Amino acid sequence: MQRFWALPLRRQLFLAILLLLVPVLGAAVWSGLSTYRERLQELGDQTRVVALTTGAAIDRELTGYDRMARNLSTNAVLLGFDSEGVAGMIRPQLDQRPSLIEIVIARRDGTVVALETRSAQISEDWSALVSRVSGSTQRMMSQMQATSSGAHYVTLAYPITDSTGATVAALVCYINPQRMQDLFGVLPLPAGSVVVVTDAERRVVVSSLDPDRYVGKVEDLGRPSAADSGPPIERLALDGTRRMYGEAKTSGGPWLVSVGIPVSVARDRAMAQWTRSFSIPMLGLPGWLLVALVFARRLTRSLGHLETAAQRIAAGDFSPIEQRPMPTREFEELQRAFDLMVRRFNESRTALDAQMAEERRIRQELQSLQRQVIRQERLTAVGQLVSGVAHEINNPLQAILGFAELLQMQSDVPESVKGDLVLIQKESARACGIIRNLALFARQQTGEAAPVRLTDVIQSVAELRRRRLETEDIELRLEDASTQHVLAVLTELQQVVLNFVVNAEQSIVSSGRLPGRITIRTRDEAGRVVLEVEDTGPGIPTDDEAKLFQPFFTTKPVGQGTGLGLSVSYGIIDSLGGHIGYRSAPAGGALFYFDLPAASVEFG
């Protein structure tokens, strides 16, 4: 009991209503089951009455055949075996009886006196048939038979005797029992009901349900003998429907009439009566519960609203509390206290957040300035060092280049030596170009933007990296199709392209996809100049594509990258009014690109 009182109010009310409904529902279930059993008993009585009625109709039909046979067998025309006269007598019988499909008068020796039929004749050994009925005063009924075409029939054979009482002929009637269905086709039976007539071997003779399928099949009646009728019984029929069956035996033949009504009829009748009887207390029961539920619902709604607000605040949601009508003044004051508490807390939190955001912004700006100062100092030191080294190396290279040219001008120098001097001159000039580009790149001077051809940019980067790439078995391919200029700073574009090439080189080497290839291509496209750097490396994972140009993001191992190269490149291209991006290369590698507006002035 303590556990019950410790439950929430809603659950207590719910359990109380359930306990109150248990006896009501128990009585309703008992009433429904009792009603169902009564309706099932009524259904059995109904099937028994209909079976007796149907059996009586079949007996009347068979009695009519017996009466017809007596009238014909005592007629002088038939005893005289006048074929035309006999045919004229039996023809009207065929028209009057729908179930009669063929009638035959045959002598004792098997000679046919007259035969009338509705369809193809039924072959029969007439002499053997006449012998079987000889010495009998009653008709002989055969079991269910079938023609070669599959039509089912039953034979009724009557002896014809002369004045001495000797059997001289036989009257044979071939009837289709299924056509007797017209006798009970108007019976007041519910939908889904079935009337089945079986013989002594449990073989279906007549079926009101799909006769083409069930006539001639053996049906299990659930009894020791098919010829015996008994009290109504519930069983599953051949069509898979559970029905209540009532049975009646025909007196005119060894047939058993079974009338089946679906059990669902009893269930529907019981349900209808149960619904009417159960609806009365169920309509009255909510009356006295309504007042309690309405009052309890108002209380629980108010408690639930305040509880939800408290849980929301505990979860970190400090939005204002929705004001709702409260059932009592105490609840109203509690709601106002909650709302006032949340508002004051939000004001304090907003002020604190603003202060923390300002401190965070100042700290980030300070860190950014410190990094920029350190980076600028490092770049300045490296630029001075590279510039000095380039100047010192350039002087002896100029001397080597000058002496090589002078030696070529001397006439007494052998041709083999002149070839070597040409090679010395060529390589010295190449070294001078590399040093010149290195010194230019080391200066890192921003200055004013000037017209620049991307051809000069990619050529300078190629001179700086080609030899290193060749040693790593990576081919550097240039596809320069651009003819327009862009307004930019040459060293800044060199830095962007060099970042692209170095990243591509490191990607190919770290993946082991050697030999590799890096392709730098340029083209003019709709008033803009496009540059692409494509490699044959593994590409960039899909999850990392959105973060490539963020500061300090790198896919390289620790110690091999700072995550600033692409971020700085993004800033350079964006400041020049261009676009920079990445996409997967057709061959699966990476493809970095940027485009800049073409300059309005052409330079040759």
Do 396 and 461 lie in one domain? The reply is no
pTM here is 0.43
Question: Across all residues in the chain, what is the average pLDDT?
Answer: 77
Provide the number of structural domains found in the chain. 3
Do 379 and 496 lie in one domain? The reply is no
3-state secondary structure labels for all residues of 47-88: HHHHHHHHHHHHHHHHHHHHHHHHHHHCCHHHHCCCHHHHHH
Residue at a domain's end among 122, 142, 171: 171
Residue at a domain's end among 136, 153, 171: 171
Do 483 and 576 lie in one domain? The reply is yes
Least confident of 71-75, 76-80, 340-344, 397-401: 397-401
pLDDT bucket at 533, cuts 50 / 70 / 90: very high
The angle subtended at Cα 280 by Cα 279 and Cα 285, nearest 5°, is 95
Residue 371 is assigned to a structural domain of this protein: yes
Residue 543 is assigned to a structural domain of this protein: yes
Residue 587 is assigned to a structural domain of this protein: yes
User: 393: domain range?
Assistant: 345-444
pLDDT bucket at 593, cuts 50 / 70 / 90: very high
Residue 312 is assigned to a structural domain of this protein: no
Please give the pLDDT value at position 531.
93
Residue 386 has pLDDT above 90, yes or no: no
Q: Which amino acid is at 35?
A: T
Residue at a domain's end among 399, 415, 444: 444
Give the distance from CA 244 to its chain's centroid.
43
Q: Which residue has the higher pLDDT, 126 or 70?
A: 70
Residue 380 has pLDDT above 70, yes or no: no
pLDDT bucket at 603, cuts 50 / 70 / 90: very low
8 A C-beta contact, residue 485 and residue 451: yes
Q: Tens of pLDDT along 566-588?
A: 777 888 888 888 898 888 888 78
Residue 139 is assigned to a structural domain of this protein: yes
Do 367 and 438 lie in one domain? The reply is yes
8 A C-beta contact, residue 386 and residue 407: no
Please give the pLDDT value at position 426.
67
Residue 226 has pLDDT above 50, yes or no: no
| DSSP-H helix ranges across 237-328 | 263-314
Residue 224 has pLDDT above 50, yes or no: no
Do 575 and 452 lie in one domain? The reply is yes
8 A C-beta contact, residue 316 and residue 349: no
Residue 185 is assigned to a structural domain of this protein: no
Residue 338 is assigned to a structural domain of this protein: no
Q: Tens of pLDDT along 233-272?
A: 887 776 778 888 888 888 777 788 888 888 888 788 777 7
Residue 103 is assigned to a structural domain of this protein: yes
What CATH number corresponds to the domain at position 373?
1.10.287
pLDDT bucket at 225, cuts 50 / 70 / 90: very low
Do 452 and 534 lie in one domain? The reply is yes
CA dihedral 22, 27, 33, 36 (to 10 degrees): -130
Q: Tens of pLDDT along 75-84?
A: 878 788 888 8
Do 452 and 593 lie in one domain? The reply is yes
Do 429 and 556 lie in one domain? The reply is no
Do 516 and 435 lie in one domain? The reply is no
pLDDT bucket at 227, cuts 50 / 70 / 90: very low
Q: Tens of pLDDT along 23-61?
A: 777 777 777 788 878 888 888 888 888 888 888 888 888
pLDDT bucket at 595, cuts 50 / 70 / 90: very high
Query: Helices 329-409 and 415-443, interaxial angle, to 10°?
Result: 150
The angle subtended at Cα 36 by Cα 33 and Cα 40, nearest 5°, is 140
